[in-house]
Structure 1
Amino acid sequence: MFGLIKTWKALSAKGIMGINRRNADYVLKYNKRSLYPVVDDKILTKERAIAAGIHVPELYGIISTEKEIDNLDRIIEGHNDFVIKPAQGAGGDGIIVIADRFEGRFKSVSGKIISHSEIEQQLSSILSGLYSLGGHRDRALIEYRVTPDPIFKSISYEGVPDIRIIVLMGYPVMAMLRLPTRQSNGKANLHQGAIGVGVDLATGLTLRGTWLNNRIAKHPDTGNPVDGVQLPDWDGFMKLAAGCYELCGLGYIGVDMVLDVDKGPLILELNARPGLNIQIANDCGLALRTTAIEAHLAELKARGVSESVEERVRFSQQMFGHVTPVEH
């Protein structure tokens, strides 16, 4: 028991946030339950983002009923590649990524041949709520397939790497790059075996890597170092993330974004209950940073002022950025 208490005190001193503290002090405190549908439903998120002029992958079509599955060919007409997602899915489950067509059938990013009937069956499963939060009836969205920037080619396996930035009341708190692996089947999902890499908020330079809760220096499939990579248009990512506070109204969120080779930074989705593995990737506790932001907000409130997106990004970069890179 004494050892557990000692360990907990050590973690608390480093500002490590546990799930209970996240839920009580941030999710419940800053996120109104009535606003959850905006982030839990990818279609609503996309519609809000488009209305606000925020860049997202283009939406080709929505299938809401079994009858509308007949509209699939019309929706994907003229598109050789596309993505099918459950609107209320979580953890990357239920997503199909089509990279090309092949003699009346389809080819996934891994090269697997998928028949038209298999895609229809997947759409039916999505509609039934198989992948949705709570198992409720769902909708399927069909959208533009992101082509990752070539900078990720040496440190990613197949799929599309994404960037998560946790945001508190419009202030970026911490960032992580998630890299697909063979084990994660090309998905950027940590629980399925993707790599999490910390990112310096000021510069966009990658830091340490964590894989299956172990610290790593190199990608297990490519063998290349995951640290020291300069992410392009980093300020663009930071401003996109900070602006999502106004977009959804939730005070504590995880903003998931991608870097498309042609379209630049795009928002994929928002998360009202972002995971805590980002602390391992950054070797830093969230609580140290969230507490600093709350103190800053209290000071601004006392002065009767608020800050713009650019000012909020600048504060976070000056307060939490310029982390010393890993030395090999």
Structure 2
Amino acid sequence: MLWSKTRKALRARGVMGINQRNGDYILRYNKRSLYPLVDDKIKTKKMALDAGIRVPELYGTIATEQGISTLRKVVDTHRDFVIKPAEGAGGDGIMVIADRFEDYFRSASGRIITLEELEHHISGIISGIYSLGGHRDQALIEYRVTSTELFKRISYEGVPDIRIIVLKGYPVAAMLRLPTRQSQGKANLHQGAIGVGLDLSTGVTLDGTWLNRKIQRHPDTANAVAGLTVPDWEDCLSLAARCYDLTGLGYLGVDLVMDRDHGPMMLELNARPGLNIQIAMDDGLLRRCRIIEDYLESVGDKDLPAAERIAFSKSKFAVAGPVAVEPQEPS
């Protein structure tokens, strides 16, 4: 009886379940032949560059054990960089180098790392221990994104990212993911990062959710997470909407980062985006998706320009949330 009432309450809120996501959206809108475009970060990055979409610069790739010896040359001119698996998921296998110290490297958390340790980590990536299917993979060495001053105030060590769900090119919902001490500086909710809902119309942050509990302040910095405006929000929405045109995937999670020097950049794409964004938004994905589907049916499922798709989403999914506040300069 209790489960029946809970299920009815979730349906009334328009909450999407995992089976519904898989059957009605992923299987319906995402052709399996297109999955490699987003599962392989090298392919995703090349497509984005060809389309003029900003992404972190790729310094090099290593695909074989023999190629590991080239690591020193690849990073020789870079004080900081990121190593990640080409087909990894959930942030696993990512190593962030923030600085150099003589012949050593310093991680984002301050740990001193040797070149041999980096090579051993890359060997693990190549062997496939972080890949989606457990098969052999490639290591990417790329530009390290530097967070803006605003995001540094509400984040611990790592760089926050923005997840935007897109249906047929229409932004559906958005959240900011903030690293914490528990998540070890990674912006992954299942590792303990904070999810903060975003007003799709304005880019203003709402309340946060941490370990499935509502919060108003970051547990490590004690700064409020609500009422802040994400910079260049229009660019963020444009990047997300264009990723549908880029890939052809109808139901898509677009992950963006805000770089201090280069503004919003597309980090990666996900053909199977998770459902925790509903908790961060305090709103159901199913309700929002059906609004878009009804609209598409009324216009004959036409592929409208990205600007028109964004305008529709902003008009339908504006949130009566916190008023934006001007952040104080850090002391």
TM range (shorter): over 0.9
CA distance in 1, matches of 2:262, 2:151: 16
Correspondence for 2:139: 140
Give me the whole-angstrom Cα distance separating, in 2, the residues matched to 1:259 and 1:126.
Answer: 26
2:313 to 313, 316, 319: 316
**1:290-305 equivalent positions in 2, closer than 5 A:** 290-301=289-300, 305=302
CA distance in 2 between partners of 1:324 and 1:56 (Å):
31
Identity of aligned residues (%): 64
Secondary structure of the corresponding residue to residue 173 of structure 2: strand
Other-structure match for 1:175:
174
Runs (5+) with no aligned partner, structure 2: 325-331
Q: Which amino acid aligns with 2:195?
A: G
Q: Secondary structure of 2:61's match?
A: strand
What residue number does 2:304 align with?
Answer: 307
After TM superposition, give the deviation of residue 326 of structure 1 in Å: 8.1
Tell me the distance in 2 between the aligned counterparts of 1:306 and 1:98. 42
Cross-structure match for 2:329: none
Partner of 1:10: 9
Instruction: Return the letter of the residue paired with 1:113.
Output: I
TM-score between both structures, scaled by the size of structure 2: 0.96
1:325 aligned onto 2:317: no
Q: How do residues 210-229 of structure 1 correspond to structure 2 at under 5 angstroms?
A: 210-229=209-228
What TM-score comes out, normalization by structure 1 length? Answer: 0.97
Separation in 1, partners of 2:321, 2:208 = 14
Partner SS, residue 134 of structure 1: coil
CA RMSD of aligned residues (A): 1.1
Once the two structures are superposed, what CA deviation does each residue of 1:276-296 show, in whole Å capped at 9, x if it has no partner? 110011100001100000011
**Residue in structure 1 matched with residue 51 of structure 2 by the alignment:** 52
1:203/1:321 contact within 8 Å kept: yes
2:293 is the alignment partner of 1:286: no
C-alpha separation in 1, matches of 2:198 and 2:141: 31
| Alignment check: 8 A CA contact 1:126 1:132 kept | yes
- Supply the distance in 1 between the matched residues of 2:75 and 2:6 (Cα, whole angstroms): 54
Residue 322 of structure 1 deviates from its aligned partner by 3.7
In structure 1, how many angstroms separate the alpha carbons of the residues matched to 2:164 and 2:155? 19
Residue aligned with 2:300, SS: helix
Task: Report how many residues are paired.
Answer: 324
